[in-house]
């Protein structure tokens, strides 16, 4: 299957997943830390079932340092995203999350010897401009705490994708996903031991939106990692994946009634999309 088909499936899944993540975190009493940890273990279960049928293998010893790095980057990146979507809209977080593409492309140039042309630099400027547009209020540029969390999460994910490419050269994607998700959950539990009681309480009645989000995210992750394993450039997949911004803005307006500052969101989404294709 062509990598563009994988990219299209990834875009669709991640856009719909963002709606369910927002629905889960909008509820009063939802906790970003416990929700992130529960999500990672749910992700490990879903992807683990798939891996068992496809042929699960344990990770080789030489990639464990990389797995630990991934655990920290994806763990805290996911936590930052859950904190962000608790206070900002799904459409806004999707646009701000595009900053992760900048990190991925720059690091791909430095560590993977992938090219960085003048057009790509223009794309970087477009994406930065979109961040400014959606955070411009009454003649003032201001980043809310939710926006900062989204940018921090994007930076963590953008960096983690680079480490992914090293892991996938030695370890099948189908086995990597459950192992990585389980490790992320353990790292977060160790980092936030006081959240254990909250997690025990929450698992008695897991939010159905969080379950749906986990399933959709697992499918999206599979559609991202499989082509990487067969030689697709990480920057190509990251670029195509960011097209989900447009879909997320549209779906958020329809299903979450996120229509405030819709003009800025559309302008930001268009600029981001232009920037992404220039980076491509």
**pTM for the full predicted model:** 0.84
Using CB atoms within 10 Å of the CB of residue 29, give its burial: 0 to 12 exposed, 13 to 18 middle, 19+ buried: exposed
Per-residue pLDDT band at 144 (split at 50, 70, 90): confident
pLDDT digits 0-9 by tens, 205-230: 788 999 999 999 999 888 877 776 66
More confident residue, 144 or 17: 17
Given a contact cutoff of 8 angstroms between Cβ atoms, the answer to whether 241 and 9 are in contact is no
What does the alpha-carbon distance between residue 214 and residue 41 come to, in Å, rounded to a whole number?
Answer: 9
Given a contact cutoff of 8 angstroms between Cβ atoms, the answer to whether 269 and 249 are in contact is yes
What does the alpha-carbon distance between residue 209 and residue 59 come to, in Å, rounded to a whole number?
Answer: 31
pLDDT digits 0-9 by tens, 60-80: 999 999 999 999 999 999 999
């Amino acid at each position: 299957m062509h990598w563009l088909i994988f990219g299209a499936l990834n875009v669709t899944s991640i856009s719909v997943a963002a709606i369910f993540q927002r629905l889960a975190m909008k509820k009063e009493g939802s906790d970003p830390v416990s929700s992130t940890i529960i999500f990672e273990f749910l992700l490990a279960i879903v992807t683990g079932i798939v891996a068992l049928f496809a042929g699960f293998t344990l990770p080789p010893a030489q990639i464990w340092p990389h797995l630990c790095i991934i655990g920290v980057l994806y763990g805290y990146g996911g936590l930052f995203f859950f904190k962000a979507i608790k206070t900002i809209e799904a459409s806004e977080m999707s646009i701000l999350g595009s900053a992760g593409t900048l990190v991925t492309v720059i690091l791909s140039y430095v560590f993977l010897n992938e090219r960085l042309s003048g057009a790509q630099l223009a794309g970087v400027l477009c994406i930065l401009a979109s961040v400014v547009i959606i955070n411009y209020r009454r003649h003032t540029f201001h980043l809310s705490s939710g926006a900062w969390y989204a940018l921090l999460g994007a930076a963590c994910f953008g960096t983690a994708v680079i480490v992914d490419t090293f892991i996938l050269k030695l370890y099948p994607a189908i086995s990597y996903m459950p192992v990585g998700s389980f490790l992320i959950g353990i790292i977060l539990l160790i980092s936030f031991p006081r959240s254990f009681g909250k997690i025990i309480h929450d698992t008695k009645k897991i939010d159905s939106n969080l379950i749906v989000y986990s399933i959709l995210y697992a499918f999206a992750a599979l559609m991202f990692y499989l082509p990487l394993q067969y030689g697709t450039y990480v920057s190509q997949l990251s670029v195509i994946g960011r097209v989900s911004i447009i879909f997320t803005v549209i779906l958020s307006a329809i299903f979450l009634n996120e229509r405030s500052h819709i003009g800025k969101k559309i302008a930001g989404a268009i600029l981001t999309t232009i920037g992404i294709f220039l980076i491509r």
